[in-house]
Amino acid sequence: MKKIAVLGSTGSIGTQTLEIVRAYKEELEVVALAAGSSVAKMEEQIREFHPKVAVMWSEKAALDLKERVSDLPVEIACGMEGLLQIAVMPEMEILVTAIVGMIGIRPTIAAIEQGKTIALANKETLVTAGHIIMPLAKEKGVSILPVDSEHSAIFQSLQGFKRSELSRILLTASGGPFRGKSREELSVMNVEDALRHPNWSMGRKITIDSATLVNKGLEVMEAKWLFDADLDQIQVVVHPQSIIHSAVEYVDGGIIAQLGTPDMKLPIQYALFYPDRRPMDTKRVDLFELAQLTFEKPDMETFTGLKLAFEAARLGGSMPTVFNAANEKAVSLFLDRKIKFLEIPELIQASMEHHKKVDAPNVEEILQAEAETYEYIRQVVEKE
Ligand code: NAD
Ligand code: MG
């Protein structure tokens, strides 16, 4: 039995992780679950998967949950303390980090310190604290297994090869719902338009990030840390069919790619059973039905979010944190219909220009850069 814990169990990645557990009950055991505020969903999950510990972010939600499951022997905790308690549970082997945002940094670090394997979906953690996480994982001999589909594809394509033979990473992007649109067209796009992703069904925040190409920017930074690559070695390739999930080019020019239908369950399952593969009941790629796979260069002049991501990555230090925090805040303002679509990259740019970069920030400094960015945006938006 592999014992796993899922942070963000009620979300898109979290529920798909539990679908895999359901299909492999004899091999996977859930020892802990954590979520933000969806108490009813958490109760259902506790009744089905019998974790030892369940955590809700808010104290109120945790109290409510405690009452609902008082007939069960599950321990209920809340807040960061609860997340950290899960991260260091002695019996837990794999921590699936499927929460959104920088809240994942501290539990991920705590779990690595205890030698736990990390199945990492929470890309914001690597974007902002990759310089802390990757060396620590190396020191502790811990595997960081990517759950993000592109990074799983790169990871799968790297199996059996030496890292020194790698020449380039070809990071594919669907282009999102607004591929091919002009800035003028983008300026009038609303929340519903942006949430209509052509290929993938995901959480709301990451769906907006796909529309701005900010998600691809975060993934460039994620790839840089996961695969110890230079930014110049990472080429973003727009591939609207989302069949090639990413590829690597070797020094001899050979390209190895991983293909599949757009279904997050494959990368999640690959991480849970790595280095083995298990059968999966999913739609298969039919090359004859597809007939063609197409590729385009990303349009960074229109989708400036991607350009800003490369800039933040190049500057390094606390700048990726500011990029990420500004984006988080701007996306939530956009989802609340308080700002327009193109104001998302505008706020990211303004925040980056406003910020005084800190080199090699520690966790405190990362969280401070986040808080300062939130405060800066609040002031800018209030002034308008
Ligand atoms: P989601 O919004 O669907 O789910 C987020 C989960 O985190 C929920 O269970 C929520 O309750 C929980 N959560 C939120 N705040 C919390 C807090 N403070 N404490 C504890 N739990 C909290 O998000 P998602 O789409 O599943 O994405 C999760 C992560 O995976 C993100 O970092 C995203 O970028 C990444 N990712 C997602 C996909 C996808 O297909 N959805 C693909 C690649 C990467
Ligand atoms: Mg992805």
The domain that holds 97 is classified in CATH as 3.40.50.720
Query: Does residue 83 surpass a pLDDT of 90?
Result: yes
Distance 304 CA to ligand 1 centre (A): 24
User: Are 136 and 230 members of one domain?
Assistant: no
What span, in angstroms and rounded, lies between the C-alpha atoms of 160 and 108? Answer: 27
The CB of 299 under 6 Å from ligand 1? The reply is no
What are the residues whose beta carbon lies below 5 Å from ligand 2 (ion)? 148-150
The CB of 121 under 6 Å from ligand 1? The reply is yes
Residues 6+ apart with CB under 8 A from 106: 80, 83, 84, 87, 363
User: Are 137 and 225 members of one domain?
Assistant: no
Q: Is there a domain that residue 275 lies in?
A: no
pLDDT digit string (tens) for 275-300? 999 999 999 999 999 889 999 999 99
Binned at pLDDT 50, 70 and 90, residue 189 comes out as very high
Query: Does residue 155 surpass a pLDDT of 90?
Result: yes
If one counts the domains in the chain, the total is 2
Cα angle, residue 137 at apex, residues 131 and 139 outer, rounded to 5°: 100
Position 9 scores a pLDDT of 98
Closest C-alpha among 251, 297, 282, 264 to residue 152: 264
The CB of 99 under 6 Å from ligand 1? The reply is yes
User: Are 165 and 115 members of one domain?
Assistant: no
Position 319 scores a pLDDT of 98
Whether the link from the prior residue into 262 is cis, omega within 30° of 0, is no
The CB of 98 under 6 Å from ligand 1? The reply is yes
Residue of minimum CA distance from atom 25 in ligand 1: 203
User: Are 87 and 181 members of one domain?
Assistant: no
Q: CB of 216 within 8 A of CB of 148?
A: no
Q: Is 311 exposed, middle or buried (0-12, 13-18, 19+ CB in 10 A)?
A: middle
Q: Is there a domain that residue 252 lies in?
A: yes
pLDDT digit string (tens) for 319-332? 999 999 999 999 99
Q: Is there a domain that residue 272 lies in?
A: no
The CB of 10 under 6 Å from ligand 1? The reply is yes
Place of tokens 């003028």: 184
Binned at pLDDT 50, 70 and 90, residue 243 comes out as very high
Q: Is there a domain that residue 152 lies in?
A: no
CB count within 10 Å of CB 73 equals 7
Rg, Å, the chain Cα set = 20
Binned at pLDDT 50, 70 and 90, residue 201 comes out as confident
Output the domain CATH number for residue 186: 1.10.1740.10
Q: Is there a domain that residue 277 lies in?
A: no
For the ranges 71-75, 158-162, 200-204, the lowest mean pLDDT is seen at 200-204
Ligand 1 atom with minimal separation from the 16 CA: 26
Name the token pair of 207.
């769906």
The CB of 79 under 6 Å from ligand 1? The reply is no
Q: CB of 151 within 8 A of CB of 226?
A: yes
3-state helix, strand, coil in the chain (%, to 5): 50, 15, 35
User: Are 65 and 165 members of one domain?
Assistant: no
Among 116, 146, 176, give the residue marking a domain's end. 146
Binned at pLDDT 50, 70 and 90, residue 382 comes out as confident
Name the token pair of 344.
């998302």
User: Are 98 and 187 members of one domain?
Assistant: no
Among the bound ligands, name the one nearest to the CA of residue 147.
1
Position 200 scores a pLDDT of 84
Q: Is there a domain that residue 76 lies in?
A: yes
Among 146, 181, 211, give the residue marking a domain's end. 146
Q: Is there a domain that residue 155 lies in?
A: no
Mutation test residue for ligand 1: of 86, 99, 204, the one with most atoms within 8 Å of CB? 99
Mutation test residue for ligand 1: of 49, 81, 100, the one with most atoms within 8 Å of CB? 100
Distance 13 CA to ligand 1 centre (A): 7
Q: Compute the mean pLDDT over every residue in the chain, rounded to the nearest whole number.
A: 97
Query: Does residue 94 surpass a pLDDT of 90?
Result: yes
What span, in angstroms and rounded, lies between the C-alpha atoms of 177 and 158? Answer: 30
Position 308 scores a pLDDT of 98
pLDDT digit string (tens) for 16-66? 999 999 999 999 999 999 999 999 999 999 999 999 999 999 999 999 999
The CB of 219 under 6 Å from ligand 1? The reply is no
The CB of 38 under 6 Å from ligand 1? The reply is yes
Distance 148 CA to ligand 2 centre (A): 5
Q: Quote the domain boundaries for residue 373.
A: 160-262+285-383
Task: Say how many residues make up the chain.
Answer: 384
CA distances from 260 to 39, 249, 272, 285, 354 (A): 34, 19, 18, 6, 42
Position 384 scores a pLDDT of 78
pTM over 0.75: yes
The CB of 107 under 6 Å from ligand 1? The reply is no
CA distances from 376 to 143, 201, 322 (A): 37, 32, 11
Distance 218 CA to ligand 2 centre (A): 9
User: Are 342 and 209 members of one domain?
Assistant: yes
Ligand 1 atom with minimal separation from the 125 CA: 32
What span, in angstroms and rounded, lies between the C-alpha atoms of 96 and 74? Answer: 20
User: Are 243 and 317 members of one domain?
Assistant: yes
Q: Is there a domain that residue 154 lies in?
A: no
Ligand 1 atom with minimal separation from the 10 CA: 9
User: Are 214 and 72 members of one domain?
Assistant: no
Among 120, 146, 172, give the residue marking a domain's end. 146
User: Are 125 and 228 members of one domain?
Assistant: no
User: Are 204 and 134 members of one domain?
Assistant: no
Position 1 scores a pLDDT of 94
Distance 163 CA to ligand 2 centre (A): 22
Among the bound ligands, name the one nearest to the CA of residue 14.
1
Name the token pair of 221.
């930074």
Calculate what percentage of the chain has a pLDDT beyond 90: 96
User: Are 100 and 229 members of one domain?
Assistant: no
- Strands ordered across the beta sheet of 234-238: 234-238, 166-173, 244-250, 255-259
